[in-house]
Amino acid sequence: MGSMSLYLFNIVLLSSLILLSNGQEQYENHHNTEQMFDVLDRVHAKCPEITYIYDLPLKSVEKRPLRVIVFSDNPKHHESLEPEFKYVGNMHGNEIVGRELLLQLAEYLCEEYKNGNQAIQKLVDNTRIHLMPSMNPDGWEIAAQHAWNTTEPGQYKDIETMLKEQGAIDWTVGRTNANGVDLNRNFPNLDEFIYKYNQRVNHRNNHLDLETFVALTEGKDCHDQTYQVETITVAFWIMQSPFVLSANLHNGDLVANYPYDDSANHLRMYSPSPDDTLFQQLAESYSHANTNMESPKKPCGTDVFPDGITNGAAWYPVCGGMQDFNYLASNSFELTLELGCQKFPPGKDLANLWNENKRALVNFMWQTHLGIKGLIDDEEGEPIFNASIKVYQLINSNWEYIDHDVTSNSNGDYYRLLVDGTYAIQVKKPGYESQTRHITVHNKEHQTDAHRYDFTLQTTSSEQDNLRRMLRKFMD
């Protein structure tokens, strides 16, 4: 090798080592709010064609933005027949693994897309993915500052080194927002409504009436706390966005938790939703891709979770949680993912946590493409908004109604997550004749398209035509 070639080789090698060192350092350091935003900005600058950054309309109590980065081949807009997905991290401010994993996930999606990873390119091109690293940035700052203030003087040179070496040890400080309210107990308690509605023959089973709820509760949650600004802005984000699937990321145990989170009497007992089989499969799609979560052992020394999953209320009841709010107030099916025993682990553990969860995080996003999707329009080809999609499953020669409808979006597209099986799909909308199709669903691993079934609804006769017919019948 000539001297010039050797020189160039050494330069390339040195550059590679520097990049590897910077990447490792990145994975070993916690990110405060400004550093978190810097990561998102850097990802967007690197992948501007597939990313978009936006803030929710309202800021936190201490005026920090709730920021989201989107990945898609058309990241600024919803596209018909392209489902939307979200991850929300750091809802409890001192539970930080989700926050850091989502930052690393953003970098991973960008890098792998640019590097030609075909699986990631398919996922991004066919899904609109929203990542909110922190729903509670105030709580994170409170937890980190408390850890620094209670550390023995002189033990670490600065707060960054302290967080890297020991993290935050206190189990409770920073969990709540700046007003001392637990955000995962602060959403409207729609479980109470659905349990009451279920006693009626013709009851509403989706997009429950929040105005009625607010009027009855005078704007307070089931713990008599005022709805917080973070809760309000996230709740409207959920209701106004066409999300199909989502997860909120927590710490404190190692398990994938699914609805319902609360029972009818608020006691600890298994409380299945109408989509219980589907939710179990969704939870296993994460836990089975995370070896530690799937393990039958007691990972955190307390509860045993077969297959690494649990029904929420069977574990412990939660009133006013975000998970069930998604299911009952929107089209989104949500899980709560507990990603480790330590709430605020040392930064030096973050690289291992990323390696443990990377495959599961990606695999869960693929589940957005389970089941069916399609377009609903009228005879003129105009999209029909807010049509109800009702599902009946053939079980032991009987058609059983899955008592949870989804609705079509403003441009007429709909998405219904389903496990493998035989179904009757009925589409209904006032003013139109209902339509039913019988289908068979067979999901494939890492499919980029759910089975597509479009519906064209015929308008019903006008009220005036009905009156004319009645008049003719009377005259005859």
> Residue range 80-98: average pLDDT?
97
| Residue 116 Ramachandran class (φ > 0 left, ψ -120 to 50 alpha, else beta) | left
Residues 358 and 410 in one domain: no
Residues 316 and 430 in one domain: no
The least confident of 28-32, 294-298, 328-332 is 294-298
> Residue range 390-412: average pLDDT?
96
CATH code, 266: 3.40.630.10
Active site residue 338: yes
Domain stop point among 351, 369, 387: 369
Residues 362 and 448 in one domain: no
**CB of 320 closer than 8 Å to CB of 181:** no
In a domain, 381, yes or no: yes
Contacts of 332 (CB under 8 A, 6+ apart): 86, 238, 243, 244, 245, 246, 326
In a domain, 16, yes or no: no
- Mean pLDDT, rounded, of the chain: 89
In a domain, 38, yes or no: yes
Residues 384 and 310 in one domain: no
In a domain, 221, yes or no: yes
In a domain, 434, yes or no: yes
33-67: pLDDT as tens digits: 999 999 999 999 999 999 999 999 999 999 999 99
Domains in the chain, number: 2
Residues 356 and 378 in one domain: no
Residues 260 and 389 in one domain: no
**CB of 132 closer than 8 Å to CB of 88:** yes
How confident is the model at residue 225, as a pLDDT? Answer: 87
Please indicate whether residue 444 or residue 58 has the higher confidence score (pLDDT). Answer: 58
Domain stop point among 328, 353, 369: 369
CATH code, 376: 2.60.40.1120
What's the count of helices (H) and strands (E) in the chain, helices before strands?
15, 16
Residues 152 and 178 in one domain: yes
Residues 328 and 460 in one domain: no
In a domain, 12, yes or no: no
252-264: pLDDT as tens digits: 999 999 999 999 8
Bond before 27 cis per omega within 30 degrees: no
* CA distances to 23, 192, 379, 385, 456 from 460, in Å: 62, 36, 11, 16, 13
User: Whole-angstrom Cα distance, residue 389 to residue 286?
Assistant: 27
Domain stop point among 369, 400, 421: 369
**Which of the residues 230, 338, 356, 463 is marked catalytic?**
338
Full domain range(s) for residue 238: 22-369
Contacts of 69 (CB under 8 A, 6+ apart): 40, 43, 44, 51, 52, 53, 106, 130, 131
Reduced to 3 states (helix: H, G, I; strand: E, B; else coil), residue 62 is coil
Residues 32 and 100 in one domain: yes
Residue 96 has pLDDT above 70, yes or no: yes
The pTM assigned to this predicted structure is 0.91
Residues 362 and 457 in one domain: no
Residue 148 tokens, joined = 């620094």
Q: Where are the alpha helices (DSSP H) in 385-461?
A: none
Residues 397 and 340 in one domain: no
Please work out, in degrees rounded to the nearest 5, the angle formed at the alpha carbon of residue 75 by the alpha carbons of 72 and 81.
65
How confident is the model at residue 218, as a pLDDT? Answer: 62
* CA distances to 261, 318, 399, 421 from 278, in Å: 16, 21, 17, 11
Residues 346 and 398 in one domain: no
In a domain, 9, yes or no: no
In a domain, 4, yes or no: no
